[in-house]
């Protein structure tokens, strides 16, 4: 009779834990830093185009991964129409996540951006339940709803309400949910590795991004921007482009070793730091007691979920088991 070897017996448990926590910390660090840097570029330095900033991030990703491939540091298959068909519809949501995320960052205050992004957690939880067939514990579900309630309280007293920004963040949340679920499916099914997935996503998305910039007045605004001589702006723009690559790469690693929901919540947890920092950086936060209370409720929910997730069995074990399982003859 064959005997099935699961991921827990195929590799040491401490390695699995290190991969889970390490990838989560890596993602949280990249996510926190890029949020602050993007806000500096778009708000503090007044750069007029989030589309051009997104193109810069995509270009850096393509160049770095292609050079690494030429140097034999990484490997992924050459582009073909089969690659294009196999990767769809991930680039669509990748593009939406990138474009609408930067647009939302520019349109609302940083603390409000982090609060409204909590809704992506609830949407991802539903996506895992109905698509990946992963059920969360009752405590985890309660913490998710706590995050959403806090976000509702905070946004209900937003003194700088902006319909444009709220719509952008809603589309951003949907794109985040779809992107996370599809990434998990493709990595578990071994359709791609993180390097190939990120490279071809960026390669496919950069074309529509450039076309969109050409159809708008962004190029004219960027041409007339007078902040290029500022060394601070140059450093912030280059750092944002580099962090765009690191963020997308760390997202795939965290989703691979954990789950889409855990990746989304980790991004919300780092906002505990970014939220308070945003009250001093960007200059567009208007203090309100109700808003402040809502932000804190949402942050507490993020902490509770993280504690429940990393002190219990990973909800993605079933998916990881299917990826690393092997059948050997029983002696």
User: How many Å apart are CA 113 and CA 124, to the nearest integer?
Assistant: 18
pLDDT value at 290 more than 70: yes
pLDDT value at 325 more than 70: no
Phi, psi torsion values for 4, nearest 5 degrees: -90, 130
Q: Cα dist. 273→110, 267, 268 in Å?
A: 11, 11, 10
Q: What is the model's pLDDT at position 67?
A: 92
Mean pLDDT of the chain: 75
Q: What is the model's pLDDT at position 40?
A: 83
Rounded average pLDDT over 164-189: 81
Q: What is the model's pLDDT at position 105?
A: 63
Rounded average pLDDT over 145-167: 72
* Strand partners of residue 3: 328
User: How many Å apart are CA 26 and CA 256, to the nearest integer?
Assistant: 13
Q: What is the model's pLDDT at position 109?
A: 67
Output 246 or 308, whichever has higher pLDDT. 246
Output 105 or 40, whichever has higher pLDDT. 40
Helices (H), the chain: 7-10, 13-39, 50-70, 81-87, 90-107, 110-116, 119-127, 138-156, 163-188, 194-215, 218-223, 231-257, 260-269, 271-278, 289-310, 317-324
Contact 127, 180 (CB under 8 A): yes
Place 251 in a pLDDT band, splitting at 50, 70 and 90.
confident
Rounded average pLDDT over 267-293: 67
Report the range out of 43-47, 165-169, 204-208, 256-260 with the highest average pLDDT. 204-208
Phi, psi torsion values for 292, nearest 5 degrees: -65, -40
- How many beta carbons lie within 10 A of that of residue 213, not counting itself? 17
Place 302 in a pLDDT band, splitting at 50, 70 and 90.
confident
Place 315 in a pLDDT band, splitting at 50, 70 and 90.
very low
Question: pLDDT digit string (tens) for 207-237?
Answer: 888 887 787 777 778 888 887 888 888 888 8
Question: pLDDT digit string (tens) for 112-130?
Answer: 676 677 777 788 888 888 8
Q: What is the model's pLDDT at position 63?
A: 92
User: How many Å apart are CA 74 and CA 61, to the nearest integer?
Assistant: 14
Q: What is the model's pLDDT at position 312?
A: 65
Output 205 or 100, whichever has higher pLDDT. 205
Q: What is the model's pLDDT at position 188?
A: 72
User: How many Å apart are CA 267 and CA 212, to the nearest integer?
Assistant: 28
Q: What is the model's pLDDT at position 322?
A: 40
Question: pLDDT digit string (tens) for 52-62?
Answer: 888 888 899 89
pLDDT value at 7 more than 70: no
Q: What is the model's pLDDT at position 310?
A: 72
pLDDT value at 82 more than 60: yes
Output 241 or 314, whichever has higher pLDDT. 241
User: How many Å apart are CA 150 and CA 156, to the nearest integer?
Assistant: 10
pTM of the model: 0.70
User: How many Å apart are CA 123 and CA 137, to the nearest integer?
Assistant: 16
Proportion of the chain above pLDDT 90, given as a percent? 2
222: exposed, middle or buried (Cβ count in 10 Å: 0-12, 13-18, 19+): middle
């Amino acid at each position: 009779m064959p005997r099935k070897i699961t991921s827990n017996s195929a590799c040491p448990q401490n390695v699995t834990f290190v991969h889970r926590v390490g990838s989560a910390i890596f993602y949280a660090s990249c996510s926190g830093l890029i949020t602050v840097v993007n806000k500096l570029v778009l708000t503090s330095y007044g750069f007029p185009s989030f589309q051009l900033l997104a193109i810069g991030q995509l270009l850096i990703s393509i160049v770095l991964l292609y050079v690494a491939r030429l140097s034999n540091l990484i490997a992924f298959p050459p582009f073909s129409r089969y690659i294009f068909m196999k990767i769809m519809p991930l680039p669509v949501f990748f593009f939406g996540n990138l474009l609408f995320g930067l647009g939302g960052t520019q349109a609302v205050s940083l603390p409000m951006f982090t609060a409204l992004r909590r809704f992506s957690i609830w949407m991802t939880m539903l996506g895992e339940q109905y698509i990946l067939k992963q059920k969360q514990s009752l405590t985890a579900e309660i913490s998710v709803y706590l995050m959403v309630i806090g976000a509702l309280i905070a946004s209900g007293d937003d003194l700088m309400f902006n319909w444009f920004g709220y719509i952008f963040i809603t589309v951003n949340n949907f794109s985040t949910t779809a992107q996370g679920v599809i990434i998990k499916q493709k990595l578990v099914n071994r359709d791609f590795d993180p390097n190939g997935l990120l490279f071809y996503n960026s390669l496919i998305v950069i074309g529509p991004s450039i076309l969109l910039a050409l159809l708008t007045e962004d190029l004219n605004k960027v041409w007339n921007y007078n902040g290029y001589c500022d060394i601070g702006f140059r450093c912030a723009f280059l750092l944002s482009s580099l962090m765009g690559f690191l963020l997308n790469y760390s997202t795939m690693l965290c989703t691979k070793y954990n789950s889409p929901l855990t990746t989304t919540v980790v991004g919300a947890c780092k906002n505990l730091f970014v939220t308070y920092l945003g009250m001093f950086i960007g200059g567009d936060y208007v203090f309100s007691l109700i808003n402040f209370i809502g932000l804190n409720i949402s942050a507490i929910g993020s902490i509770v979920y993280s504690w429940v997730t990393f002190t219990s069995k990973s909800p993605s074990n079933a998916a990881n088991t299917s990826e690393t399982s092997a059948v050997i003859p029983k002696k």
